Amino acid sequence: MQVARIKLSGSSPQELDQISGEIKEIAKKFGIDYHGPIPIPTKKMRITTLKTPCGDGTGHGNATWEKWEMRIHKRVLDVQADDRALRQIMRVNIPADVRIEIKLL
């Protein structure tokens, strides 16, 4: 039987865990096999900028910097590709900042 690989990514790990829990419950309800959620290493995007627009810093040769960081968390689930179960998975309410990708293997 085919397997559907579901990849979730977003900035909030709590939302990803909640969505993956809902997908697990759907798989249990229909009695199909599933694996996961498997956490993938977090991607950290960092940006460092000077605080002042002129580039001089605080005025005494001490440049002050601001550091910004955004983390992208990812989860992967493998679910048997049952038509009824995949229809229910497609109905799961996904927040706007969570990206979901479903591939049939």
Return the CATH number at 82. 3.30.70.600
pTM (global) more than 0.85 = no
- Predicted confidence at residue 51, as pLDDT, reads 78
**Boundaries of domain holding 76:** 3-44+72-104
Cα–Cα distance for residue pair 76/21, rounded to 1 Å: 12
Domain membership of residue 62 (yes or no) is no
Domain membership of residue 56 (yes or no) is no
Domain count for the chain: 1
Instruction: Indicate the DSSP class of residue 53.
Output: S
Domain membership of residue 51 (yes or no) is no
Domain membership of residue 84 (yes or no) is yes
- Predicted confidence at residue 60, as pLDDT, reads 62
Domain membership of residue 14 (yes or no) is yes
pLDDT over 90 at 19, yes or no: yes
**Tell me, what amino acid is at 34?**
Y
